[in-house]
C-alpha cells in the first residue's frame, strides 16, 4: 500500500477547461486534509480552482501549493452557513475564471461523546454546517451551472452516515445521513439541467482533523488511537486524503458522466464488515 499522505493524483487533463469551487479546502495543521487534497487534485487534473475556507490563510496555503505545481487557483474567505458569503464565493469564482462547473461541498463538523451532552445550540450549529451549507452553496451554484450547460455537485459525507464507527457521534452521523439523501434528491431534480450530484461516503482516514479533534473521545494516546482505527479496516490501515481526492476527480470528470445520485463509499472495506472499534 502507498504511504499515508502521498501526493499521487491524476495529471492527465481529465478536468481541462473546468472551473471548480471547493468549500472547506484549507487544513487545520500540518498534514494533508481532505478538502485541501481535493482542491489540489482538481488542479492537477487541469481545472482552475477557487479554494474556499473560513480561514483565509489556510485557503491561501492551499493556493500556494497549487501554484507551485504550475496550476491556477485563487482563494476566498467563506462562511458556509451565510447565504451572502456563499453567494460571494460563487460570484468570485465566476469573476476570476469565467464560469463554474464543479462545486465540492467539503464541509462538516460534529461533537463526539455522550449524545445526551449535546445542547440544542450545538445541534443547530452542526446541522447548519452539515446541511444548510449544502443548500446555500448549491442554490448559488446551480444558475451558473445551467449557464455553462451542466455541472457537478459533490458532497463529502461519512461512513458514520451508515453505521456506528466505534465512538458516539450522533449529530454528525445523522446530519451526514441527511447529506446522502440531499444528494439523491438533488440528482433527480436537476438531472434535466445536466447537473450530476453525488456523495462521497468517506471511511476512517488519517488527517490532521482526527489528531486534533478526536483524541479525547478515543481516550487513548495518538499511537493507540491510530492502531485502533487501523484495526477496523479490512485493508489493514486507514486511508488518506488522496484516496478521497482521487475519487472526487473521477466523479467530477466526464468519465462519470452517467453516475448521479449515488453514495460512493471510500472506506477500505469497513462497511462490509461487523468488525468493531
Are 126 and 44 contacting, i.e. CB atoms less than 8 angstroms apart?
no
Please say whether the dihedral angle defined by the alpha carbons of residues 133, 139, 143 and 146, taken in this order, is positive or negative.
positive
Point out the catalytic residue in the list 42, 172, 190, 218.
172
Between CA 184 and CA 180 the distance in angstroms is 6
Please say whether the dihedral angle defined by the alpha carbons of residues 33, 36, 40 and 45, taken in this order, is positive or negative.
positive
Is 172 a catalytic site residue?
yes
Tally of residues, the chain: 277
Burial class (CB in 10 A: 0-12, 13-18, 19+), 3: exposed
Between CA 125 and CA 141 the distance in angstroms is 23
Please name which of 1, 12, 19 lies closest in space to residue 252, comparing C-alpha atoms: 19
Percent helix, strand, coil in the chain (nearest 5)?
Answer: 50, 15, 35
As given in the structure block, the three cell numbers for residue 242 are 488522496
Query: Residues 6 or more apart from 260 whose CB is under 8 A from it?
Result: 187, 191, 196, 197, 198
Are 46 and 19 contacting, i.e. CB atoms less than 8 angstroms apart?
no
Positions annotated as catalytic residues are 172
Amino acid at each position: 500500500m502507498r504511504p499515508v499522505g502521498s501526493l499521487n493524483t491524476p495529471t492527465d487533463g481529465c478536468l481541462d477547461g473546468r472551473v471548480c469551487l471547493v468549500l472547506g479546502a484549507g487544513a487545520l495543521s500540518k498534514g494533508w486534509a481532505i478538502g485541501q487534497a481535493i482542491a489540489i487534485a482538481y488542479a492537477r487534473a487541469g481545472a482552475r480552482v477557487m479554494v474556499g475556507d473560513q480561514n483565509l490563510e489556510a485557503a491561501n496555503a492551499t493556493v500556494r501549493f497549487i501554484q507551485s505545481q504550475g496550476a491556477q487557483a485563487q482563494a476566498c474567505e467563506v462562511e458556509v452557513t451565510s447565504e451572502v458569503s456563499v453567494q460571494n464565493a460563487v460570484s468570485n469564482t465566476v469573476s476570476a475564471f469565467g464560469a463554474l462547473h464543479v462545486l465540492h461541498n467539503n464541509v462538516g463538523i460534529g461533537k463526539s461523546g455522550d449524545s445526551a451532552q449535546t445542547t440544542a445550540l450545538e445541534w443547530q450549529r452542526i446541522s447548519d454546517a452539515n446541511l444548510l451549507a449544502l443548500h446555500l452553496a448549491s442554490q448559488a451554484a446551480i444558475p451558473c451551472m445551467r449557464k455553462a450547460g451542466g455541472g457537478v455537485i459533490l458532497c463529502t459525507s461519512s461512513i458514520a452516515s451508515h453505521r456506528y464507527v466505534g465512538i458516539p457521534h450522533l449529530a454528525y452521523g445523522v446530519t451526514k445521513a441527511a447529506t446522502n439523501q440531499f444528494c439523491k434528491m438533488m440528482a433527480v431534480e436537476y438531472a434535466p439541467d445536466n447537473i450530476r450530484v453525488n456523495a462521497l461516503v468517506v471511511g476512517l482516514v488519517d488527517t490532521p482533523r482526527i489528531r486534533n479533534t478526536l483524541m479525547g473521545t478515543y481516550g487513548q494516546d495518538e499511537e493507540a488511537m491510530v492502531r485502533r482505527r487501523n484495526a477496523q479496516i479490512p485493508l489493514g490501515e486507514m486511508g488518506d486524503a488522496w484516496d478521497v481526492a482521487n475519487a472526487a476527480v473521477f466523479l467530477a470528470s466526464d468519465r462519470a458522466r452517467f453516475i448521479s445520485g449515488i453514495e460512493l463509499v471510500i472506506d477500505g472495506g469497513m462497511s462490509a464488515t461487523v468488525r468493531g472499534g
